[in-house]
Amino acid sequence: MEVWAPGARTVEIVVGAPGEPPERAPMVRDDRGWWRWEGERPAYDVLDYAFVIDGEEPALPDPRSAWQPHGVDGPSRTFDPSAHEWRDAGWRGPRDGAGTLGGVVYECHIGTFTAEGTFDAAVERLDHLVDLGVDVVEVLPVAAIPGRWGWGYDGVDLYAVHDALGGPAAFQRFVDACHERGLGVCLDVVYNHLGPSGNYLGRFGPYFTQSHMTPWGPAVNLDAPGSHEVRAFVVENALRWLRDFHVDGLRLDAVHALVDEGERHLLAELADAVADLSAELGRPLDLIAESDLNDTSMVTPTAEGGFGMTAQWADDVHHGLHVALTGETQGYYEDFGGGTRTLPDGGPLDVLAHVLTRGFLHDGSWSTFRGREWGRPVDVDALDARRLVTYLQTHDQVGNRATGDRISAAIPPGRVAIGAALYLLGPGTPMVFMGEEFAASTPWQFFTDFTDEGMAEAVRAGRRAEFAAHGWSESEVPDPQSRATRDASVLRWDELSSEPHASLLRWYRDLIALRRSVIGTSETRFADVICVVEDGGDTFVMTHRGIEVRADLAHDTVTVTTTGVESGTAADCIPTSLTYP
């Protein structure tokens, strides 16, 4: 066992079998600041262990802990990733080796996907995703967090799998079960910050730097003294999920907060390391960035000076759809209503046409919300549109609303069906947020389970203050620390057979089947998409690869027609026209 603690004078290990009195022994330092235990390992398959730095109690968990069964403040537990007997020897990757691009991604929070909130329980619902036509399951962060449940973005043990979800062995079983059904797995990872409770990295070494600040405090140290080991900590973490857990891709949270002024950006280094591992394993491995920079250099190959990501999220497409369907124009939605310095002569449907044919609204244009020009121009003839992930809802866009209400709570099913048709049959890589496909009646609210009462109260107060500024009363904002808030966010699977849920589910299945048959997996271009606003602004028409989506927003109806599809294609086996309702 070893740990990096370059500034420590002494490091001791406290180690023993679970339930047995532990031993305490000194560790030996090398010239790079790594401390190693040279004693004889106890003869047990599983050990609990922790480190004491400079004699200061309590003992701390391993920064690279694979398992925290006693919580984020307790000792670590050893885990052998090679013990699992994998059944996916023939697995070539999503869509039989085609990878993620162009497939249908399903964003899933394991803790609320089922009432049990575990990987093993989620396996029982995977056939639903197969029937829906999903290609890749994107799992929200699984790193160990304080308490029993949360979104996962406050992880503090980045190598561990949260015990309440089932721990690391359960995650391996889940991935194996997905592959058995032909489903790829993309794991959401957070490298831009750690959560505030149970974060001990700073006690071990210079994992953070005051040279750069982020919304969460000091930035992760990617370019200051000691950054070499911190960068390795991140890169090795990513490779571990892909190698030891057979994950097919990673979604990187808020990469714009990875501040790196070094000679080579961490993202490019990571992209090349993942490409090497992909070649070694003989299957595609994808990196999907969440970036608000609106800059296609994010998905430009490293050999061409880019960051080398496979794809990036396209929030502007979401914003355009949301405003056109709901009429909301507050906050960052303001420009998407049209009539601003961005599109002075256009309304929300003109903005929607812009984002569906260019990917970004802010492509070097003025952003009213930011008070500055934002983004960079997009070469629509050169960019493979599959490299932008598009969506109608996400965990952020739902959960960061005051009550976690889904778009289906604000608009009729026919209007949801319009939004679904436009992004599922568009040129990007579409992503469905769990429950969206059947207009789940359950919200997806912001919930936490901090065991530190001071932190718990700070979260409550912060959430209430944030929305009080927008006119929400304290009683209207769910208590994030209440179990009821988490429980209210759990999907209700009994809704699948009742209306309007069943009809919308059939609509999503038909759209995804049409996408698979007609659009397929080859490269797409935004330049191939044509959008027209008709009937004085009541009808929106999108044409893409022989598919016409005609949306009547005055009556909330939509018709999809496979006009122009050549005879003899796979489309011959599907309906030439779909309507909702």
Cα gap 267→221, rounded to integer Å: 14
Residue 181 CB partners (closer than 8 Å, separation 6+)? 126, 127, 129, 130
Residue of 70, 68, 49, 45 whose CA lies nearest to 59 = 49
Asked if residues 384 and 101 have their Cβ atoms less than 8 Å apart, the reply is yes
CA distance 17 to 454: 33
- At 57 the three-state DSSP class reads strand
Coil, helix or strand at residue 577: strand
Tokens read off for 50: 């922790």
Could you tell me how many residues make up the chain?
A: 581
DSSP for 213-254 reads EETTEEEE-SSSTTHHHHHHHHHHHHHHHHHHS---EEEETT
Cβ-contact 262, 227 below 8 angstroms: yes
Torsion angle, alpha carbons of 477, 479, 480, 484, to 10:
-110
Tokens of 440: 């789940």
Q: Give the whole-angstrom CA distance, residue 137 versus residue 119.
A: 12
Please give the Cα distance from 142 to 157 (Å, whole number). 10
The label of the residue with tokens 């609204």 reads 361
- Given the residues 48, 290, 396, 449, the one annotated as active site: 290
Residue 65: C-alpha distances to residues 78, 160, 196, 367, 491 (Å): 8, 6, 18, 42, 31
Shortest CA distance to 150 belongs to which of 434, 489, 466, 509? 489
Secondary structure of residue 105 in the 3-state scheme = strand
Active-site residue (options: 253, 260, 495, 556)? 253
- Measured over the CA atoms of residue 327, residue 430, residue 195 and residue 146, the dihedral's sign is positive
Question: Letter for the amino acid at 342?
Answer: T
276 is catalytic: no
β-pairing, 11-16 with 23-26?
antiparallel
Q: Indicate if 253 belongs to the active site.
A: yes
Q: Which two tokens stand for residue 367?
A: 């952003």
Residues assigned a catalytic role? 253, 290
